[in-house]
C-alpha cells in the first residue's frame, strides 16, 4: 500500500557520531575559517523570563535521575538543579509527578528538505545527478515553512540535524537547527554547530547510478568512488596549505567540504547498514586519515558492536525498522542496547528517526529499544536510555557543549512531560528552547502555526486546530 514510501525511505538514509571529536567553536566562528565563511547562523533566542520548575522528576540525559527536584532556567541557560530552589522573579511551574528531560535531538532528519506535503516540488534532499556531490549543502534546500517542524516540537524535539539523502556516495553537507520556525534558514541554524558530510554505503548509490549504466553499480564501485574522491581531496588540501598563494588550487566547493573533513572541522555522518561495509568505511577513514562520527541506520551495527566502541564511532539506529530493502533484513530489536553495552558500556548508541512521524515519538522508540535490550539480558535503566535521544545525538552533532543534557550553564533546551517519557501515554506538555517557552499543550497561542497551515482548508481556520 505504501510502496512509494519505501522507495522514498530507501533514498533518504544516513549519519554517524563519535566521542573522540574535539570540535571547538564559538557562536561567531565560521565552520571552516578562511574557506567558507558564509551562511553562518543568525539565530536569536525568543524572549524569555526566568522559569522555576518545582518538584519535578528529572532525567539529565547523561544517565542521572533526580526525583522531586527543582530546576531553574534563566537568561536562556540552565542555572540550578536542586532540592529546593527559591526565586523571587521566576515564573513558577508546578511540575510535581511530571518529568523533565533535555530537549530531544534527532541526528537524522530530512525535515525541510523533504517537506510536507511530499510533492515533487519539495523533493530537495538528493542531488542525484552525480555520485559525488560534496559541494551541496542540505541547508540550501530547507523550506522554513515545513509543517513538520512544529509537529516534531510537539514531540519534544528542540534540535535536529538535517542531512541530504543517500542517493550519492557523498551526498553533501548536513546542518543542525534549533526547532523554531523562522523566515530565514540562517535564523534557524544552531549557533556554532559544525557541518557534517553525508556519505552513503550500499544499495542506494549503486542502484541509483547502476540503473543509469554508470558507476557505481556495485559495492566495489562504491568503494572506488570514495577512494578516488579522497585522493583528490588530499591533493587539494595539500595545495591549499601551500605558503605561496599563487600556487594554491582554484577553490572547489566539493573539495572544500572534503578538506573540512580532513581538517577535523566537518563531521562524517555515514549512512551504512551492513556490518562489513561499516568495517570497510572505517578502514577507508584510516587510509585517508579522517574520522567517522556516526554510522546511520546501521541495522547490522550489533554485529560489530565492539569495533564501533573501540573506534569511538556512534551508531544511530531505528528501534525496529526492517525489511524494506535487503540490507535492512537482519534487524534485531536489541541493536541499540547491544551498541550501548559494548566494551563495558562505552558504546555510543543513538535512536534516530529519518522520518517525520518517528521524530515525534523518539521517546517511545527509545522505550522499545530499552525493553528489547533488557529482554535480551541487559540491565538498562530509563535514565541511561534517555542518553540515546539527548546527549548522544548532541555529541554526534557536535553540540554537546551547548545542549543535550540538564547541566548548569547549558542552553535551557528542556521538555516537561505529562508523565514518564518512556510511556506511550506521556506527552510533551511544555517545551523550552534557550529558556523560552516555545510549546505549551494547554495554550494554543504557544503552539507554532506555519504559513503553510494558515487558512489552507478553511480560510478562517488553521490547518489543524
Partner 1 sequence: MRYFYLSLFFLLGTSLSSETVLLKGGLVHSGDGNSAIIQDILLSDNIIKAVGDNLIIDGNTRVIELDGLPVTPGLISPLSNLGIVEINALDVTRDDESEVLTAGFSIFNAFNPHSTGIPWNRSNGITSAISTPSPSRASVFGLGSYFILDGSLEIKGLKDIAMFGRIGATYGSRAETLSMLDSLLDIGRMLGTTPIQEILELSLVEKLDIQSQDIFALGKVVNEGLPFVLETNRAVDILQALALKEKYNLNLVLVSIEEAPMVLDRIKESDTPVIIDPMDNIPNSFDELGSSLELGRILDQAGIKIMFSTQRSHNYHLMRQGSGNAVAHGMSYESAIAGMTKVVADTFKLGNRGSIESGKFADIIVWDGDPLEPSSFPKIVMIDGVIQDLSSRSSRLTERYTNKEDKPSSYKH
Phi first, then psi, for residue 192 (nearest 5°) are: 75, 0
| C-alpha atoms less than 13 angstroms from C-alpha of 315 in its C-beta half-sphere | 37
Q: Does 116 bind partner 1 (CB under 8 A)?
A: yes
Task: Write the CB contacts of 33 (distance below 8 Å, at least 6 apart in sequence).
Answer: none
Cα–Cα–Cα angle for 121, 159, 339, nearest 5°?
Answer: 105
Among 56, 138, 331, 438, binds partner 1 (CB under 8 A): 331
Cα-atom radius of gyration of the chain, to the nearest Å?
21
Number of residues that bind partner 1 (CB under 8 A): 55
Q: How far is the CB of 165 from partner 1 (least distance, A)?
A: 15
- Binder among 91, 220, 408, 424 for partner 1 (CB under 8 A): 424
Cα–Cα distance measured from residue 267 to residue 15, given in angstroms and rounded to the nearest whole number: 9
Query: Binding of partner 1 at residue 436 (CB under 8 A)?
Result: no
In the Cβ-directed half-sphere of 105, how many Cα atoms lie within 13 Å?
Answer: 33
Instruction: Give the shortest CB-188-to-partner 1 separation in angstroms.
Output: 20
The candidate with the shortest Cα–Cα distance to 354, out of 8, 2, 47, is: 8
Residues in the chain: 465
The cell numbers describing 357, all together, are 512521524
How does DSSP assign 292-342, residue by residue? EEEEEE-TTGGGGHHHHHHHTEEEEE-SS---SSGGG-S--TTHHHHHHHH
* Closest alpha carbon to 417 in 389, 439, 392: 439
User: What is the spatial distance between Cα 378 and Cα 323, in angstroms, rounded to a whole number?
Assistant: 26
- Site map (CB under 8 A) of partner 1, residues 265-284, x = contact: --------------------
Q: Does 330 bind partner 1 (CB under 8 A)?
A: yes
Residue 370 Cβ, how far from partner 1 at the closest point, in Å? 7
Region from 4-12, 96-104, 218-226, 228-236 binding partner 1, contact rule CB under 8 A: 4-12
Task: Count CB-CB contacts under 10 A for residue 249.
Answer: 13
Residue placing its CB nearer to partner 1 in the complex, 232 or 310 = 310
CB of 431 to partner 1, least distance (A): 16
Residue corresponding to grid cell 516534531: 152
39 touches partner 1 by CB under 8 A = no
Q: Counting contacts by CB under 8 A, is residue 307 touching partner 1?
A: no
Task: Give least dist CB 319 to partner 1, A.
Answer: 8
- Based on the shown chain and the rule CB under 8 A, indicate whether residue 321 belongs to the binding site for partner 1: yes
313 near partner 1, judged by CB under 8 A: no
Tell me, residue by residue from 146 to 175, as one string, x for binding to partner 1 by CB under 8 A and - for no binding: -xx--x------------------------
| Residue 454 in the binding site for partner 1 (CB under 8 A) | no
Residue of 3, 213, 442, 445 that binds partner 1 (CB under 8 A): 3
Question: Minimum Å distance from CB 381 to partner 1?
Answer: 13
**What distance in Å separates the CA atoms of residue 293 and residue 302, rounded to the nearest whole number?**
17
The 190-229 site mask, x for binding partner 1 (CB under 8 A), equals -------------x--------------------------
Binding site for partner 1 (CB under 8 A): 1-3, 5-7, 10, 116-119, 147-148, 151, 203, 302-303, 305, 320-326, 329-334, 338, 356-357, 360-361, 364, 367-368, 370-372, 375-377, 422-427, 456-457, 463-464
Amino acid at each position: 500500500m505504501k510502496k512509494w514510501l519505501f522507495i522514498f525511505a530507501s533514498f533518504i538514509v544516513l549519519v554517524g557520531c563519535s566521542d573522540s571529536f574535539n570540535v571547538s567553536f564559538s557562536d561567531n566562528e565560521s565552520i571552516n575559517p578562511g574557506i567558507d565563511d558564509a551562511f553562518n547562523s543568525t539565530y536569536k533566542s525568543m524572549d524569555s523570563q526566568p522559569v522555576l520548575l518545582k518538584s519535578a522528576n528529572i532525567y539529565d540525559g547523561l544517565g542521572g535521575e533526580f526525583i522531586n527536584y527543582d530546576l531553574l532556567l534563566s537568561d536562556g541557560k540552565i542555572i540550578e538543579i536542586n532540592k529546593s530552589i527559591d526565586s523571587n522573579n521566576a515564573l513558577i511551574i508546578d511540575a510535581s509527578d511530571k518529568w523533565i528531560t533535555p530537549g530531544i535531538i534527532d541526528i537524522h532528519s530530512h525535515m525541510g528538505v523533504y517537506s510536507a506535503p511530499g510533492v515533487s516540488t519539495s523533493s530537495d534532499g538528493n542531488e542525484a545527478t552525480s555520485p559525488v556531490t560534496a559541494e551541496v549543502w542540505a541547508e540550501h534546500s530547507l523550506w522554513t515553512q515545513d509543517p513538520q517542524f512544529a509537529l516534531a516540537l510537539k514531540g519534544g524535539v528542540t534540535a535536529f540535524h538535517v542531512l541530504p539523502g543517500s542517493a550519492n556516495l557523498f551526498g553533501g553537507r548536513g546542518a543542525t537547527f534549533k526547532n523554531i520556525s523562522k523566515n530565514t534558514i540562517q535564523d534557524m541554524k544552531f549557533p556554532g554547530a559544525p557541518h557534517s558530510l553525508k556519505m552513503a554505503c550500499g544499495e542506494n548509490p549503486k542502484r541509483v547510478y547502476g540503473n543509469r549504466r554508470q558507476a557505481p553499480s556495485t559495492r566495489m564501485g562504491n568503494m572506488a568512488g570514495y577512494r578516488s574522491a579522497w585522493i583528490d581531496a588530499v591533493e587539494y588540501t595539500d595545495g591549499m596549505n601551500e605558503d605561496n598563494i599563487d600556487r594554491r588550487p582554484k577553490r572547489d566547493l566539493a573539495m572544500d567540504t572534503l578538506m573540512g573533513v580532513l581538517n577535523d572541522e566537518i563531521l562524517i555522518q555515514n549512512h551504512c547498514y551492513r556490518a562489513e561495509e561499516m568495517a570497510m568505511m572505517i578502514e577507508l577513514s584510516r587510509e585517508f586519515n579522517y574520522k567517522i562520527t556516526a554510522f546511520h541506520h546501521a541495522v547490522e551495527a550489533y554485529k560489530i558492536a565492539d569495533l564501533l566502541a573501540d573506534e569511538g564511532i556512534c551508531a544511530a539506529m531505528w528501534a525496529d525498522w526492517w525489511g524494506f530493502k535487503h540490507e535492512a533484513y537482519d534487524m534485531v530489536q536489541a541493536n541499540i542496547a547491544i551498541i550501548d553495552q559494548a566494551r563495558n558500556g562505552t558504546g555510543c548508541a543513538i535512536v534516530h528517526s529519518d522520518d517525520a512521524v518517528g521524530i515525534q515519538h523518539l521517546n517511545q522508540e527509545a522505550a522499545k529499544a530499552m525493553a528489547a535490550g533488557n529482554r535480551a539480558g541487559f540491565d538498562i535503566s530509563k535514565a541511561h536510555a534517555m542518553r540515546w535521544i539527548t546527549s548522544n545525538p548532541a555529541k554526534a552533532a557536535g553540540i554537546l557543549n551547548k545542549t543535550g543534557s540538564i547541566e548548569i550553564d547549558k542552553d535551557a533546551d528542556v521538555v516537561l512531560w505529562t508523565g514518564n517519557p518512556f510511556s506511550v501515554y506521556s506527552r510533551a506538555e511544555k517545551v523550552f528552547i534557550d529558556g523560552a517557552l516555545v510549546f505549551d499543550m494547554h495554550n494554543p497561542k504557544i503552539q507554532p502555526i506555519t504559513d503553510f497551515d494558515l487558512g489552507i482548508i478553511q480560510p478562517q481556520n488553521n490547518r489543524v486546530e
